Amino acid sequence: MDIEKQHIELECINCHTRVPLDKRVAGCPTCGENILEARYNLNQIVVDVWLEELKQRPRGLWRYFEVLPVEDRANIVSLGEGHTPLIKSKSLAASLGLKHLYIKDERQGPTASFKDRQATVAISALKEMGVDAVVVASTGNVAIAYAAYGARAGIKLWAFFPSLTPGDKMAEAALYGAEVIKITGTYDQTKEIAARFAKRKGLFLDRGIKSVAAIEAMKTMAYEIAEQLGEAAEDGRWRSPDWFIQGVSGGMGPIGVGKGFREMLDFGLVDKLPAMGIVQSAGCAPMVEAFKRGQRIATPVEDPQTIIATLATGNPGRAYELLYDYVAENGGHFVAASDEEAFNATRVAARTEGISVEPATGVTFAGLFKLVQQGMIKPDDVVVVNCSGHTLPVETRILGEHWQRSVDLSQRATEPVLPREGLLSAIEQMETQIRRIVVIEDNVDAARLIKRLLEARGAFEVQLAYEGATGIELIRSAQPDLVITDLMMPDVDGFAVIDTMKADPTLNRIPVVVMTAKELTAREKARLSNQVNLLLQKGSAIDEELIENLVHKLQD
């Protein structure tokens, strides 16, 4: 059963004039402001009934129909989007020292990014208006999602891409039947050309953050997060996280999510708004730069220097003002990450969580690492990361050139004399002298992470001990080629493990690596200096870089 749809109004964010929902209205009739927000007149009784009803409704974005700007369910164009899993991180959380890190896995939607939400709501609204063609400028994901939903609705899409967009993404939009126009220029210039084209042809232009449908679509992420955090809690009550983190280009995601939480606060469904962690690509970070200077207006970046096309909005316009105000009121931070940091974070997320993300989300994770390192995010905070994975068009930048080992047998089959030795020595070269490793680390998740990262390198066999005493026993029984130990452990600590090994003639030749987060005093360093082969300071994240560093040193 549906609750009768309450009438929806649009409210001017500047002078608060309200007008009835009209999807073609372009601005405030009183002051001309072009950003209007949808208002749903749900009173407490309706909210209570609605909450009960939601329990019976199927999963998916349209379960929040009452707070979406489509009047008739018959117009909904859906591919089963929404209700993506909220995955609780273990290894990555442990390596960052966080207790409640969640990944909102937007990869698991019909076109693999959160733009599915925008597409289902915007295309449904267009269908309700009787529009049969739409023009959009996109760095990739919006156009792909619009193309898929447009195909389903019989709405033709004209998709304008800046040339930086990976070819695979443009091809995917074309596959869904979109007209693809590649503009050799920046994303901001592409938007201008698309707008002119729409005007000249009399076609409907998607208005980005000024579109009511887009903001309302993005807010469904907030509703889902609140509901999913509630499901995970004992009392079942909806709740807000402490942080929502996203890599940002135009800012639509966090603006919509912020609106969603504010709306739920008004309905009495949650009791606060999350802080926003807004991450930009360092080569195109107008919001971060303005925020650093304490300015509410951003200076556009004319010539973005990032290969991460998804985040290449040089001129954020009004979106930044809205986000600035949100952060000033509710907390949060703007932070930038370089492309290299993003690729590194992509590898870390993949190897610790089994989650392969697209480079724009690599930026998100890199920003998360920074916010934790800067102490902005506290160990007990509930943190949600918006995670998308739409194709990986910059594979070699993420994995490096030598990410696969290849053995070519096709030649050898015709040359019967050489083969075995050549093949054997090729395989031998892959081995290192060190094979069996014992890791002693009292943080169980960190220990498992080290094991996994080492074993992912290929030839290592890693055994774990979670305290000093069992560590020594394990070393005695396993006779490893290498011991990696933490220093700070209860009871028998790393210093004692090393002392024991060095005093035992059967163990004193085994090389020892100390991996520690502890700041060592001069005395401690002196104590270790003759006993330890390598001392690695771990930062706040045990990551691939650290292990890479370790393995290189072992092979020297």
Ligand X SMILES: *Cc1c(COP(=O)(O)O)cnc(C)c1O
Nearer to Zn ion, 28 or 143 (CB): 28
Q: How far is the CB of 364 from ligand X (least distance, A)?
A: 7
206 makes contact, choosing from Zn ion, ligand X, none, with CB < 5 to 8 Å by partner type, with: none
480 makes contact, choosing from Zn ion, ligand X, none, with CB < 5 to 8 Å by partner type, with: none
Nearer to Zn ion, 209 or 497 (CB): 209
388 makes contact, choosing from ligand X, Zn ion, none, with CB < 5 to 8 Å by partner type, with: ligand X
What is the C-alpha separation between 361 and 355, in angstroms, rounded?
A: 11
Q: How far is the CB of 20 from Zn ion (least distance, A)?
A: 15
* Alpha helical stretches, state H, 233-338: 252-266, 286-292, 318-330
Q: How far is the CB of 247 from ligand X (least distance, A)?
A: 5
115 makes contact, choosing from Zn ion, ligand X, none, with CB < 5 to 8 Å by partner type, with: ligand X
Nearer to ligand X, 95 or 280 (CB): 280
Q: How far is the CB of 200 from Zn ion (least distance, A)?
A: 29
What would the DSSP string read from start to end of 345-412?
HHHHHHHHHS----HHHHHHHHHHHHHHHTTSS-TT-EEEEEE-----TTHHHHH-TT-------TTG
Written in H, E and C, the secondary structure of 164-233 is: CCCHHHHHHHHHCCCEEEEECCCHHHHHHHHHHHHHHHCCEECCHHHCHHHHHHHHHHHHHHHHHHHHHC
What is the C-alpha separation between 389 and 149, in angstroms, rounded?
A: 18
138 makes contact, choosing from ligand X, Zn ion, none, with CB < 5 to 8 Å by partner type, with: none
Joined together, the tokens standing for residue 209 give 């953050």
Nearer to Zn ion, 82 or 317 (CB): 317
250 makes contact, choosing from Zn ion, ligand X, none, with CB < 5 to 8 Å by partner type, with: ligand X
Handedness of CA 37, 43, 48, 49 (dihedral sign): negative
Nearer to Zn ion, 25 or 203 (CB): 25
> Helix 494-503 and helix 468-478: axis angle, to 10°?
30
Q: How far is the CB of 378 from ligand X (least distance, A)?
A: 25
What is the C-alpha separation between 499 and 483, in angstroms, rounded?
A: 13
Nearer to ligand X, 261 or 495 (CB): 261
What is the C-alpha separation between 475 and 499, in angstroms, rounded?
A: 13
Residue numbers at the binding site for Zn ion (CB under 5 A): 12, 14-15, 17, 28, 30-31, 33
Nearer to ligand X, 256 or 471 (CB): 256
Joined together, the tokens standing for residue 476 give 């005695």
Q: How far is the CB of 239 from ligand X (least distance, A)?
A: 23
82 makes contact, choosing from Zn ion, ligand X, none, with CB < 5 to 8 Å by partner type, with: none
Residue numbers at the binding site for ligand X (CB under 6 A): 113, 115, 141, 247-254, 310, 358, 360-361, 388
- 142: three-class secondary structure by DSSP: helix
Q: How far is the CB of 360 from ligand X (least distance, A)?
A: 4
